[in-house]
Amino acid sequence: MDLLAFVPQFGGFLYTVASFVVALSVIVAVHEYGHYIVGRWSGIHAEVFSLGFGPVLWSRMDKRGTRWQVAALPFGGYVKFLGDVDAASGKDAAAMEAAAADPEALRRTMHGAPLWARAATVAAGPVFNFAMSAIIFTAVALSQGTMREPLTIGELAPLPAIENGLQQGDELVSAGGVAVPNYLDSAAWEAFRDAIPQEQPLEYVVRRDGAETTVSGPYLYPPYVRGVVPRSAASDAGLQQEDVIVAVDGAPLVSFDQLKQLVEAADGKVLVLDVWRGGETVEMALAPRRTDEAQPDGSFATRWRIGIVGGLAFTPATEPAGFGESLAAGSYQVWAVIETSLSGLKHMISGAISTCNLSGPIGIAETSGAMASQGAESFIRFIAVLSTAVGLLNLFPVPALDGGHLMFYAYEAVAGRPPSDRAVRVLMSLGIAIVLSLMVFALGNDLFC
């Protein structure tokens, strides 16, 4: 047996695990810090801030009496406040009884603090997750800028040798005899895209140095791989960013739409792709997979896909974006993730789409590694998406999650008294059972879907 053959796979495994740990640790640290800092501002004392569970690897006590620690199992974290018996914020009856005689000491406990302080402290974790996501999305929007109008060529995509007279800085006037509309007008752009003749080379009219000139270039939407979807047929087959799929089962391709049509028509049968990569052509075989895709109206459609993202034959030139515009775009992306997640959950419960869309730790780890391998920006954006998902999950009204605690507080606000300790213990046990069942179910999806 050649042990060296396992070195690349082992290295890839470590890279995936490391990416997962980094992504999860950042998200958990932000979430728990939200609980900690708002609790501190609200007058509730934090005894322990833990990143991870299990045996403690490192710890230190700060001047406020909070022990900060890193534990061996990096699959979550917690803040244990004064009066909590465990990481799930169950009540420590003995500690609460001891503090009852001293109003100041009682006020510093989680269960003796005013309702507003407890509610704010619990809600702060998900809120901080959403805030971090919005900050990341806003920063990405600022760094990318806004697309310049009229549509201007930035960096040309590396494509197989064809006649290409396009140059960086050219402003597109027409393509294939069809006038180029505003790129941000989605309806006009779709009509323009459908009207372009699928031929190569394609004739373009561009404005260069103030004068219009006619040049030839590649089809506007070539079968060029701008991104590979993690855990997809393309990813498993080894397709990479900047690959160009020049033929499917021997049939030459001009456009990404032609590739899409052939994939859908294959109905899951194996396709043989001729892939141009850095000047050489390699052959790959893969089978399209059924994929549930979110639609603009909030519904889902099931399609055959191989898992690649296409785009223009060039990167559009951009100009600096305003902060307000970027902040609005970043906030909208957070809401879009929440809306899509809720819609997906609803459709899974109703049976409209497969429950295999629910990923567990293995799936998330594989996605972490894949996004990290595509570059820092992709990985950071993935952290933002995952942070939003974690914040949303914690708001579900399930005892043991933040939403469950908020549910108890809502009952207390309406009834004028908290639920009984016995009722809370029973409901917390039920909540933990639900959470563990969902984790096992998601892990089963990772292994068997």
- Output the CA angle 104-105-109, nearest 5 degrees: 115
283 is catalytic: no
Beta bridge partners of 212: 207
Alpha-carbon distance 165 to 141, whole Å? 31
Alpha-carbon distance 363 to 230, whole Å? 9
Q: Is 209 exposed, middle or buried (0-12, 13-18, 19+ CB in 10 A)?
A: exposed
User: DSSP of 204-222, one letter per residue?
Assistant: EEEEETTEEEEEEE--SS-
Q: Can you read off the two tokens belonging to residue 130?
A: 């959403």
Which of 100, 89, 93, 101 lies closest to 47, judged by CA?
A: 89
User: DSSP of 160-187, one letter per residue?
Assistant: SS------TTPEEEEETTEE---TT-HH
SS3 225: coil
Q: Can you read off the two tokens belonging to residue 246?
A: 């020049």
Residue with tokens 């972490």: 368
Helix axes 376-394, 115-144, angle to 10 degrees: 160
Alpha-carbon distance 94 to 375, whole Å? 51
Q: Of 32, 155, 325, 377, which residue is the catalytic one?
A: 32
Which of 127, 133, 103 lies closest to 39, judged by CA?
A: 127
User: Which are the contacts of 132, defined by CB distance < 8 A and separation ≥ 6?
Assistant: 27, 30, 384, 387
C-alpha distances (whole Å) from 110 to each of 77, 102, 234, 252 are 18, 15, 50, 67
Alpha-carbon distance 224 to 310, whole Å? 6
Contact 402, 391 (CB under 8 A): no
SS3 383: helix
Alpha-carbon distance 391 to 132, whole Å? 10
Residue with tokens 């855990």: 231
Which of 376, 406, 382 lies closest to 120, judged by CA?
A: 406
* Count of CB atoms situated within 10 Å of the CB of 195: 12
Could you list the active site residues? 32
